[in-house]
Structure 1
Amino acid sequence: MTTQPNGLIDVPPGLRNVAVTSTEIGDVRGHEGFFHYRQYSAIDLAQTRSFEDVCFLFLEGRLPTPEERARFFADLAPMRALPRDLRSVLPAIARTGDRFTPLTALRTALSFMASARNMTPSWDLGPGDRKRDAMFVCAVTPTILAALHRLRTGRDPLDPRDDLPTAANWLYMVTGEVPSPERATAIERYLSATADHGFNASTFTARVVASSGADMVAAVVAALGAFSGPLHGGAPDRALDSIDAIGTPDRIDSWIRSRVESGDRIMGFGHAVYRTEDPRARMLREIALALGGNLVEFAVEVERRVVEILAELKPGRSLYANVEFYAGVVMEQCGIPRSMFTPTFAVSRTVGWCANVLEEAAAGKIIRPSARYVGPTPPQPVPSQDDLNR
C-alpha cells in the first residue's frame, strides 16, 4: 500500500489481503485449506454438530448445552411461520417476471416483511432485540424461499413443521416430502459448512450497511444483492450445467481443453482464497460418494481430469474444485431443483450475515472509505448551453 500526497492510501484492487476490521466470528486460512467458526474447525462442526448448534454458535458465541439447544429450537421454530401480511403478497411476487430469480424475489419479500413488521434500525435497539431480529430473519428466510418456489411452480406453499430441524424442514418445504435421514444429513452438513466463509463480498456488504445503523433486513437484503452474482453465490447450478454439457466420459478432455484454450472459466473450479483443495469440496465429495449414483461417479472423473488438465495447461497455478462443484451434485442427489441451488446456499449464509451484522452493529462506527479520483482535472469552467449546442 502507498500513501498519496492527499493522504489517501492506495490499496490492492478488490481490497485483496487488506484487513478492514477485526472479528471474532471466523476466518479462512487459504494456504492451509482450513477455515473456522469461532475457535472450531467449520468442517468438524459440520460433521459432528447440528445446523441449529452452528446457528447458536454464531449468534451466542458458544456451543449450546442440551438445555440451551432445546430452548433455542423452541424459540426458533415458531419464527419460521410466514407472517400473515407477507403470505398475502407472496403469490404476486412469485409470478413477477418472465424468468423466476429466487434471490430477487426474496429481496422483495424480505423488504415487504420489514415494512409490515415496522423493523427498527439496529442503532435504536439493544443487543437482545437485535439478536431476536437476527433469529427471526434466519428462521423465516427458508420458509419464504420455499414458498416462492412452490408458488412459481403452481403449488401451494407448505407450512414449516415444528418437529423437523432446519435442513429436513427445508427439503420438506421445497420437495413436499419428508426426506430420508441420509438426505437430511447431507443437506444439514452442507448448510453448516457454508454458513460463513471469511470476509467475502456479501459479508462485507452486510457489514457496511449494518455500520450505518440500518435494520437487520436492510443489511441482509444488501448482502443478497452481492451474493446473487455468478462470481459469488450463484454458481452451484452452473457447475452442474457444465457436467451436463460434457455429457459422456469420452467428451471430458476435449470439452475441458476447449474451454481453457478459449479463455472461458470452468465453473466450480478455482477460488479467490484457497491455494489448495477447498475443504468444503472435500467434505461434499465424501457426502456425494455416500449418496452414490452415476452422476457422482461421473462428477468425480470430471473433477480428476479438470485438475490434471489445468495443471498441464496452467502450470504454477493451484486450481482445484471449489464448494460449488460438489454442492450442485449433492443437492441434485437430494432432490433439490437447480433453480433452488443458490437459494439453499443463501439459507445457510443468512446465518453468517446476521452474525456479522450483530458484530458490526455493536461496534457503532460507520464504514466510510475513500476513492481515488481519476477523472478530468477540476475545477474547469462550466460550459454554457450555447457552447454545448455548437
Structure 2
Amino acid sequence: MKSGLEDVVAAETILSDVDGLAGRLIMRGVSLDDLAGTPYEQLLSLLWAGFFELPQDLPGALARARTEVFAHVASADPGLEPVDAIRALMALIPDGNDLETALRLVAAPAVFTPAVLRLKSGQQPVAPRPGLGHAADILQMLTGKTPSPQQAAALDAYLVTVADHGLNASTFTARVVASTGAGLTSAVLAALGALKGPLHGGAPGPVLDMLDSIGTPANAEPWLDAALTRGDRLMGFGHRIYRVRDPRADALKLALRPLIAAGEVDKDRVALAEAVETAALALLKRKKPDRPLETNVEFYTALLLEALGFPRSAFTCVFTMGRTGGWIAHAKEQAATGRLIRPQSRYVGPAPLQAA
C-alpha cells in the first residue's frame, strides 16, 4: 500500500508530462518553454484537440460563452468567500459533455471572479467585451479599464502555465467523477473542491504574507533564518514532484519582466522578492542539504497576480481560470476509456468478536 498513491500510475494520458528530475513540463508534446507567449485560447485548442469538434474561431466562441454566463452574475452572493461564490455560480451551468458546456465552464471563473470581487467592494460588475481576448477581457471586467498589452500578456502567461500539470489532486478528482459517467460540470466542480484545499491551491497568498512580514531586502536573511530555526515552511519553495527548480517559476518570472519595464509593477516589491528568493535558496541549501527545495510556481504567481490587481483572497479563483481547461481535457480523456475508477482499500480496523 502506498500512502497518498505515491508513485502509483493511475492513468495513461496524452495531455501533460511532468518530469520532476529534469524540471520539465510538456503539454501535448510542447514544452512549457515553447508555450511562452501563447494565448490561452490557443492552448485550449491544443489541449482539446480530438475531444471536441473545435470551431475555426475558438476565441470568438469563448467570447460568446463569457457573454452567456454573465447572466448568472445576478445570482452572486458577495457575502461568500470568492472561491465559494464562484463555485455556487458555476453550479448553475447544466451538466453536459459537449463543447458548449466546456466553453461555458472555462468562461465561468473568468467572468464570475471579477464580478464577485467588484460586488464585494461595492461596485457593479462589468460586462464582458467580446472584441477582447480572454485574458484582456478578464482584466477589463476586474478594473473597468482596457488593460495594457503587457498586462494581458502576463495574465495569458499565467493561465497557460497552470493549465495542466499531470495527475495532481484536483485533476485526479475530475477524472474520478468523469469515470462515473457524470458530466463536465460535475467533474469541474469536484475538481474545484479539491483545489480549494490549502495543500493544493492555497499557497500564493501566504507568499505575500511572508513578503509583508519581511518588509525589506536587508531583513530577508535574518527573518528566513529565524523561520527555518523554528521549523516553519518557507512559502513558495519546494514541490512534491520537482527535485530541481519548478519550470513554471521561470516562466512566470519571465512574464513579469515586461510589466516591470513598463512600470506596472512596484519595483521595490520586485527587489524584495528577489532578495527573499536569493536568501531562501542559500539558507535551504545550507540548512537542508539533503532535501531539494527550489523556487516553485507559487512564488512568482503571487507577485504577478498582485501586480495585475487580484487580491490574495481570489488567487484560487484565478488558478481555476487556467486549470479548468485542463480539467475538462482530462475528464474527456477519462470518459473515453469507459472505465470506472475504483481502487481498493485495506481494512485495518478491529476484527469482529468471536462468540464463546
TM-score bin, normalised by smaller chain = over 0.9
Provide the residue aligned with 1:60 in structure 2: 49
Q: In 2, Cα distance between the equivalents of 1:83 and 1:163?
A: 16
Which residue, 74, 82, 86 being the options, matches 1:102?
A: 82
- The superposition leaves residues 132-189 of structure 1 with CA deviations (integer Å, 9 ceiling, x where unpaired) of 3212211222112221111122111111110111111111111222111111111111
Deviates more, 1:153-162 or 1:135-144: 135-144
Alignment partner of 1:364 is 2:348: no
Q: CA RMSD in A?
A: 1.9
Q: Does 1:75 align with 2:61?
A: yes
**Mapping of 1:181-196 within 5 angstroms?**
181-196=149-164
**Closer, same or farther in 2 for the Cα pair 1:316/1:149, shift >3 Å?**
same
Q: Give yes or no for contact 1:206–1:356 (8 Å, CA) kept in 2.
A: yes
CA contact (8 A) 1:237 1:339 kept: yes
* Aligned residue among 291, 306, 310 for 1:317: 291
Cα distance 1:245–1:69, how it changes in 2: closer, same or farther (>3 A)? farther
Displacement of 1:217:
1.0
1:301-357 deviation digits (Å, cap 9, x = unpaired): 110110000111101211111011001111222222222222111100011111111
Give the CA deviation at 1:378. Answer: 2.5
Deviations 1:198-220 (A, max 9, x none): 11000001111111111111111
Query: Hey, what does 1:373 align to over in structure 2?
Result: 347
- 1:1-390 mapped onto 2 (5 Å cutoff): 10=1, 12-45=2-35, 47-61=36-50, 71-83=57-69, 86-90=72-76, 93-96=77-80, 101-111=81-91, 113-114=92-93, 117=94, 119-120=95-96, 122=97, 129=98, 131-292=99-260, 293-378=267-352
Normalised by the length of structure 1, the TM-score is 0.85
Q: In 2, distance between residues paired with 1:267 and 1:290?
A: 25
Q: Which protein is bigger by CA-based radius of gyration?
A: 1
Whether the 8 Å CA contact 1:43–1:280 is kept in 2: the answer is: no
Q: Supply the distance in 1 between the matched residues of 2:245 and 2:69 (Cα, whole angstroms).
A: 42
Read off the aligned partner of 2:335 and give its amino acid letter: A
Amino acid at match of 2:216: T
Counterpart CA distance in 2 for 1:256 and 1:84 is 44
Question: Is the 2:246–2:295 Cα contact (8 Å) retained in structure 1?
Answer: yes
Q: How far apart, CA to CA, are the structure 2 residues paired with 1:254 and 1:149? A: 36
Gap runs ≥5 in structure 2: 261-266
C-alpha distance in 2 between matches for 1:259 and 1:109:
40
Distance 2:184 2:229 in 1: 45
Amino acid at match of 2:172: F
How far the C-alpha of 1:298 sits from its partner, in A, is: 1.3
Q: Deviations over 1:29-84 (max 9, x none)?
A: 01000011111112311x1422110011111159x9xxx77521222211112547
Q: Which shows bigger deviation, 157-166 or 132-141?
A: 132-141
Q: Distance in 2 between matches of 1:161 and 1:85?
A: 14
Mapped contact 1:81–1:140 kept (Cα < 8 A): no
Query: Paired residue for 2:263?
Result: none
CA contact (8 A) 1:134 1:216 kept: yes
User: Which residues of structure 1 form unaligned runs of 5+?
Assistant: 1-9, 123-128, 382-390
SS of the residue 1:266 aligns to: coil
Shift of 1:380: 5.9
Structure 1 CA distance for aligned equivalents of residues 352 and 14 of structure 2 = 44
Letter in 1 for 2:311: P
For 1:81 and 1:102, the matched residues in 2 are separated by 20
Contact 1:43–1:193 (Cα < 8 Å) also in 2: no
Q: 1:43 to 1:187 in 2, by over 3 A?
A: same
Read off the aligned partner of 2:62 and give its amino acid letter. Answer: L
**Cα deviation code 1:345-375 (max 9, x no counterpart):** 1100011111111111111111111111111
